[in-house]
Structure 1
């Protein structure tokens, strides 16, 4: 096979994040299959949080060094109390990123057969150039509703100039196919989950897991409230993996409701540590208010967890069915409590759902997903 030279573009691989995670997974797999992969990060050189195949060449351009980006940082720090200042900050930072990216890509794009942009703002930037856009694939990782008037109403129409669009949930495919040829390709799972065998209930503990950034969108506080309202035996525990701005609020709720012995904030963990924690748990509870996919739901399935999640836009409904768990209307805590109570009180039902959830995970193995990428590359 003739080597295809592919450039992936994203902001950073500095901290936990869904895009960085699937970017490193996919590029490493493609590199093993003979593709010549390079990655451009819009940040100064930094240590990788998620491991990247050593054959992959990495480039760095510091978007924060641009004058507009510096002004954006100044605005955010000095006027943090002003409503909407973050939106103003974002537009100035995007302008700075565009200038830095445009300069680098103009000089280097001829080195690549295909360019894959991993964020909608970067895809818009690349779509503005008639030559570069024709070799660019937009890999959409966020809801198509994000971006506000400037991106959603004005700039996304430029997606018609791109080579293709790849979406990670089915509703997004319906939205983007009005602009260009669009493919549904789910996110690829970590290698550490691919060969995990089914874990029997007696090898696990009575643990409910949540994994995600502790912010208002991921809504981890609802998991704690639901757990508090669920009538479970005292040996059931809730482990929350992740960190973020809502951590103190969640910790305060745990203390006020005397949940210190049953709810544990474990902080940021490595992918390997997360897999080991999920192998110990029986139920994965997810109360996110918005998702583009929900890769962590797959990880929980591979680790023999039954799933309960809010039916938020967009990912969970593509993943959860009667074979692996329950979809709950968003904010419907009583229904969530009811299903959680059912599983924690009915051991036979829980064991059966854990088994079928694991079996369902095989539909999401990497081989099929890699093949879909190879076909469009």
Structure 2
């Protein structure tokens, strides 16, 4: 029997990068002989991303805790208070922490290692002397995210067994805090890795973006770029994802008669693969990324890439042979490169081929070996 590992995250009820790569990793680890448990910090729910039946799942209901009830009261009665959402975030996280610590107090001795899948959870566990030496912080967003309080708490990462990051920028930052910091890319699922190259002529004239519809992912700016690019009539754009800016984006599309753009909403993994397999170009206009795993997913589906050079991740994926890396907020250059690819199908085909070839560097064998080295 291999080592027994506990992963901790909030949920697996909807599309999201962390839940997706968590499912991919635990499914592969259990195949490699590890005994895996997951603690989800909400009530029992059906998995959005499939998890191997050998993985044991535990649930504690953070939305049933008194802290969430306080947050709900604040939203109803105290909406006039400045920065109420930020206050509620801290209150909710207090409830999460109390529930998680109570569960771990009773169960932590059952595990050889604990892997925390979000920085707010990792900050709490770094303070827990009973478990921090066997805890690994698995970081999924830039070290700059979190604000003053969490930035101070991240200094306690020095107490942890390891810190796993996704990009060189975060590696350089956390290495000074914890010398056992390692950079490990995110893993794709088996179906994604199994894809063959899809040539240009077998695809549609389709541009895709996979992103949450929120301010950080900057999708409105992508719509502005598409509008100003005056795409040929036979080209379509599909945006996969959902979020709090959906209504704003729908209004922009309708007001500007952008009938060639569709918001596909939240899709499951097979639906996303189906669209990417038909797409030729995949774009990203994020202001910030933990890594940009959707770009790698697009590479496995033979897409050329265009993305803003935001912190952090796209610069470690995109090169001159698989796409274009655009200076952040340079809409004109983004627009020019997009039009260039549409007008030059031979160049587009070359980038698509190289993109698929580069995707093979992100296969699971290398990634799982790095995880085994620290578990």
Alignment TM-score, normalising by the size of structure 1: 0.97
Structure 1 residue matching 2:227: 3-state secondary structure: helix
**1:113 has 2:112 as partner:** yes
- Alignment match, 1:7: 6
**1:217 has 2:219 as partner:** no
Indicate if the aligned counterparts of 1:69 and 1:97 stay in contact, CA closer than 8 A: no
- TM-superposed deviation, 1:269: 0.9
- C-alpha distance in 1, partners of 2:134/2:338? 48
Structure 2, unpaired ranges of 5+: none
- C-alpha distance in 2, partners of 1:77/1:22? 35
- Alignment match, 1:95: 94
**1:338 has 2:304 as partner:** no
- Alignment match, 2:298: 300
- C-alpha distance in 1, partners of 2:208/2:78? 38
Structure 1, unpaired ranges of 5+: none
CA deviation digits over 1:48-104, x for unaligned, max 9?
Answer: 111100000000011222222321232234334543111100111111111111111
CA deviation digits over 1:179-227, x for unaligned, max 9?
Answer: 1110000011122210100001110011000111111111111222111
**1:319 has 2:317 as partner:** yes
- C-alpha distance in 1, partners of 2:75/2:314? 34
- Alignment match, 1:357: 355
- TM-superposed deviation, 1:371: 0.8
Runs of 4+ in 1 over 6 A off after TM superposition: none
**1:185 has 2:184 as partner:** yes
Instruction: Say what the alpha-carbon RMSD is for the aligned residues.
Output: 1.1
Query: Higher mean Cα deviation, 71-80 or 324-333?
Result: 71-80
Query: Higher mean Cα deviation, 80-89 or 272-281?
Result: 80-89
- C-alpha distance in 2, partners of 1:93/1:265? 31
Alignment TM-score, normalising by the size of structure 2: 0.97
- C-alpha distance in 2, partners of 1:354/1:83? 48
- Alignment match, 1:328: 326
Q: 1:327 to 1:136 in 2, by over 3 A?
A: same
- Alignment match, 1:168: 166
Query: Higher mean Cα deviation, 77-86 or 273-282?
Result: 77-86
Structure 2 residue matching 1:296: 3-state secondary structure: helix
Q: 1:363 to 1:77 in 2, by over 3 A?
A: farther
Structure 1 residue matching 2:122: 3-state secondary structure: helix
CA deviation digits over 1:254-277, x for unaligned, max 9?
Answer: 1121111x1111111111000010
Q: What is the total number of aligned residue pairs between the two structures?
A: 374
Structure 2 residue matching 1:188: 3-state secondary structure: coil
Structure 2 residue matching 1:22: 3-state secondary structure: helix
